[in-house]
Amino acid sequence: MPQADDILSVLTDPALQPVAERVVRGERLTRPDGLLLYATDDLTGVGALANAARERMHGRRTWYVRNQHINYTNVCNKQCRFCSFAANIGGGGPQPYTMAVDEIRDALLRYGDAPITEVHIVGGIHPHLPYSYYLDVIRAVRAVRPDVHIKAFTAVELDQIAHVAGKPLADALMDLKDAGLSSVPGGGAEILSDRVHALLHPCKLTPDQWLEIARTVAQAGLPQYATMLYGHIETIEERVDHLLRLRELQDETGHLLAFTPLSFHPDGTRLSHLPGPTALDDLRAVAVARLMLDNVPHIKTFWIMNTTPVSQIALWYGADDLDGTVEEYRITFAEGRRGDVRQAMSAEAMVNLIEDARSVPIERDGLYREVRR
């Protein structure tokens, strides 16, 4: 880990000095600290502090996973204004599709030779899919890849699944676990703010409901991931409060494995007039997350959203995970906008990217256990 004097010497904003001293002492940062980290012009200083926190936890190790994404349907009744993925019920948006369980099996078999250790499954909120569909999807993955980590269904989907199951979420989670579910992805929280919820995604879970589902996931003994969609209409205060609410949740449950800041891409959404975040915004989001979420083990830079060059730099701004080799991801750049849905990177390219950034690549599984081949 860098020495305290090295870190303090790179700061150009004297207001960061007390925050830096708290980081060096390993103390928890406060809400005003978070606001300052977002407000200061000294982004390099913020990055140096985040890197110190990162190196204290992980040294220069950087994690990646060989994974496959399955986005089983883009049919959705939630109408989120920031979404370019959904085919809205009643028309509008991309062509609707829903994968039959056999098609999901075929998609898995298409990469049957690839040494994938995680399958990541999310989709829209399709009002007519029966409960059995969700269980059959998990069972199909488990049948094709008995040892894979199955990370599936965000809190919003889990709410829908419990609804169509006609049973409490806790009971539905037990069924999903029995079918083979391993963990729950982080989407759906967006920004935990009632104001943003009312303006951008009023049909979806409220912040309190999202947190309640996260608690139920923890009680079910399932690990979960967390995210923050930023760069649309949210304020800096709302970003910091989002991080603080996740930190409180993690103090209570300890079940969050990693946090991913998700950079908003306005293209094709009902917010396409907005400029979207810059690379500097992306780096700051990673760095502030690392500094504020002192109890969340891993901070990801998702290379598809942040681009590979920015993700390399992010490894020096607090990120310790590049996410995955990612076969068939559809969400950020819907088919037809950026062409091919196959936005994959080979494991070799991932390793080179990490080594180029003077970090040590470690392949992991869905629970951050090292994979040795």
Q: Residue numbers of the site for ligand SF4 (CB under 6 A)? A: 76, 78-80, 83, 85-86, 124-125, 156, 201, 204
Distance of CA 190 to the CA centre of its chain: 10
Output 54 or 242, the one with its CB closest to ligand SF4. 242
Q: Which is nearer to ligand SF4, 304 or 319 (CB)?
A: 304
Closer to ligand SF4 by Cβ: residue 37 or 125:
125
> In the complex, what is the shortest distance from the CB of residue 202 to ligand SF4, in angstroms, rounded to a whole number?
11
Strands 87-88 and 75-76, by their bridges, are: parallel
CB of 69 to ligand SF4, least distance (A): 14
Q: Are 222 and 184 in contact (CB under 8 A)?
A: yes
CB of 85 to ligand SF4, least distance (A): 5
Distance in Å, CB of 86 to ligand SF4, minimum: 4
Q: Which is nearer to ligand SF4, 79 or 359 (CB)?
A: 79
Least distance CB 254 / ligand SF4 (angstroms): 27
Q: How far is the CB of 186 from ligand SF4 (least distance, A)?
A: 13
Closer residue to ligand SF4 (CB): 188 or 366: 188
Separation of alpha carbons 364 and 373, rounded Å: 11
What's the residue count for the chain? 373
Q: Which is nearer to ligand SF4, 177 or 338 (CB)?
A: 338
